[in-house]
Amino acid sequence: MTEPSAARRGQLAENLAVVRERIERACRVSGRDSSEVTLIVVTKFFPAAEVVALAGLGVTDVGENRHQEAAEKFAVVRAELGEAAPRLHFIGQLQGNKAVAIAGLADVVHTVDRSKVIPPLARGARPGVPLGVLVQVDLDTDPQAHGLRGGARPEQIAHLADSVAAQPALTLRGVMAVAPLGQPARRAFGRLAGLADQVRHTHPEADWLSAGMSGDLEAAIDAGATHLRVGSAILGSRPPLR
């Protein structure tokens, strides 16, 4: 593991401070307590050494979207930090053939969007450590875009939540979404908050709302987000898709 340069470490610390200040300010504006909001730093495409540096800056939760990359990176991070390693949130599309392995690797999976992946997640969860699960909602109102970026249709959410909650190896945490492209994030997150309320009605313990990224975290906080997934505002822009 090659440690990041002093300059890079300084940049990470500065970016993190700016994001934390944005969160504080948005919470003040929305009349919320910032202790209700968890920052998940999305480290996809960036090396294990930067995850270790971020942990040193107080980051407790990290998000990754590809199984292979997350497995390699977290083997290093966990060897380096042991108990102090950040929690790993899986935020990428769930491929059926990877679900067992992802369940064994991650602490929380944010992207359950079809029933088929639920039994393999339950099989892969570590014995005695229930895997946290969120149901991903597709908020796009444009039918042409449905299914493009993952997520279940709003009318399927209740059934998926029930199916997750029925698995003893899984703990239903709540719902997650990405704001649709080209539509106002505030309106989309408002719909998500309504769905989260419905899920909590049946499953009161499922009180997480995972929403908000670098560009729209203020709108997400205003809608009641409890978990933000922020990448580029902290790590810088990612290399083009491989």
Ligand X SMILES: *Cc1c(COP(=O)(O)O)cnc(C)c1O
Residues of this chain that bind ligand X (CB under 6 A): 42, 44, 65, 91, 178, 213-215, 229-233
- In the bound state with ligand X, the residue whose beta carbon lies nearer, of 40 and 169, is 40
Q: Whole-number minimum distance, CB 198 to ligand X, in Å? A: 22
Q: Whole-number minimum distance, CB 99 to ligand X, in Å? A: 17
**Residue 71 parent element (H or E):** helix 67-81
Closest-by-Cβ residue to ligand X is: 231
Q: Whole-number minimum distance, CB 45 to ligand X, in Å? A: 9
For residues 120 and 122, give the distance between their C-alpha atoms in angstroms, rounded to a whole number.
5
The CA radius of gyration of the chain, in Å to the nearest whole number, is 17
Task: Count CA within 13 A, CB hemisphere, residue 80.
Answer: 20
Q: Whole-number minimum distance, CB 71 to ligand X, in Å? A: 17
Q: CA 117: distance to chain centroid?
A: 17
- For residue 189, give the nearest of 202, 180, 198 by alpha carbon: 180
Q: Whole-number minimum distance, CB 224 to ligand X, in Å? A: 17
- In the bound state with ligand X, the residue whose beta carbon lies nearer, of 52 and 225, is 225
- In the bound state with ligand X, the residue whose beta carbon lies nearer, of 48 and 225, is 225
Task: Count CA within 13 A, CB hemisphere, residue 141.
Answer: 9
- For residue 126, give the nearest of 146, 100, 149 by alpha carbon: 100
Cβ atoms of residues 14 and 40 within 8 Å? no
- In the bound state with ligand X, the residue whose beta carbon lies nearer, of 121 and 225, is 225
- In the bound state with ligand X, the residue whose beta carbon lies nearer, of 83 and 242, is 242
